[in-house]
Structure 1
Amino acid sequence: MNDVEQTIVLVKAWPQPSQKYGETVCCAGVTPSGEWRRLFPVRFRHLAGDAQFARWDVVEYRPAKPRDDNRIESRRVDEQSLRRVHKMTEREREGFFDPLFRSSTSEAAKRNESLTLIRPTSLRFFWKPKSAKELAEEDAKRQKALRQGSLFDQELAKIEPCPYELRMAFDDADGSHDMACGDWETAATFFNWRKLYGATSALERLKGVYEKDYFQAGVALALGTVKKRPNQWLLLGIIRLNETVQPRLL
């Protein structure tokens, strides 16, 4: 399985420390033929500028089926082959992802899927301050992992731990859920808006964007399972995606 493959990026999670790779980013998306892909290991901040990507970008890479991950969507990526091709237009997005939506994670699990999209019937964004101890432990874990990386790796800029645990409460066909949000875009927006408006206003603005702007215009939640705990689902991305308008029957 070494032929070149393309994936439309939907998920790029906040960088996480890795004992084996120093730091990795959970990335997932959909192939042009409509199949989910989970890409790893992606050491995003080590990628050259022209290889770095964002949501809706189409990336190309040489994939391999992993030996230690039996989830059908997972692919090991040759980091040196990874490159950004182009960005999917808004028009191209219309209806393309509809077949991937499920009513709940339990429906996805019954289909043997470990990645899915859900249209929540309600949405509430909230946050919890992290203690000084939690922040110190988080930073120490990251620094330890980075020190275990290859001597040939470039030195990465220090990432400030997010001082808040960002969470999303939502309803789907299974009922109510409350999950931590691992979306890079969410955390990055908080840090950018904090510089402009202060922490409290930044959080309130995010709340307004998700609960009003996104929810009213069309929002998709991207969720995925954990390799070691296949029954546990995580919130990986909060995506602005229009709902397809069904034609009215005459």
Structure 2
Amino acid sequence: MDIVGVDCSTFLNTHFLTLLEGHKTTYMGRLEYLHYMGKEAAQVTAHYADKTTKPFTAPAVGGNDIYTTIDVSPSRFETEGTDLLYYVVEAGSRSMTLIIDSEERDVAPTLLFTNSFGCQELIYCTGKHEVDPQYTRDAAYMGGIRVNYRITEQRTFNADTGYLGTDMANWADDLFRSDEVYLVNFIGGVAKVGKRVTLSDSKSKRDNLRDSVPRFTFSYTYAQRQHNVLDLQRAGRIFDNTFDNTFN
């Protein structure tokens, strides 16, 4: 990775370990984590619909003597009687604003990926999600009957990030650079890291037209050879996230 216009030490002292610059859109119930070099405590200022603010300390949930991982999930900053609009996370000279999406969106898939700094981040895709299994059949005549003696399945999923702001579009490209990506399932409100997947056919083209809004698409498959996967932990959905909620 090449950082232009600033030396490495200055960057690490003024930025979280992510390519996301500016603000990030999130929603209640999602998990959000930030990583940074150092051990100083991180402070959060939450802003509410009634124009009040409230300070918090973001809990450290990982790290060592060199870096710190903090939990900045929006549910930590809820206050009874008013709605959380956005919150600002600060650790030393680093700052990140997370804005609460006012519209609940179906998320499929949720992916955990290793970014350009070697840290794991979560991305929640809110666009169309579909499964497109392909089968290769090798057949031969045995005893006068044509038989498929070998059937190979490749289960391909096509995903859509949904509409992204410019800041999140630049950041989402880091998903497509990642060589380590996992599915994440939420079971009873608890995140469970699932199968490792391999991404392909990503399209993240964008332009400078005023009315253009970035929206990326990509495909992924299970990294393992066996693609006939039945996940019994996936409560509330039939087979996978491509199934319509109407049937549940």
Q: What TM-score comes out, normalization by structure 1 length?
A: 0.21
Task: Name the one with the larger strand percent.
Answer: 2
Q: What TM-score comes out, normalization by structure 2 length?
A: 0.21
Indicate the structure whose relative CO is greater, using CA pairs within 8 Å and at least 6 residues apart: 1
Task: Name the one with the larger helix percent.
Answer: 1
Looking at CA atoms only, which structure, 1 or 2, has the larger radius of gyration? 2
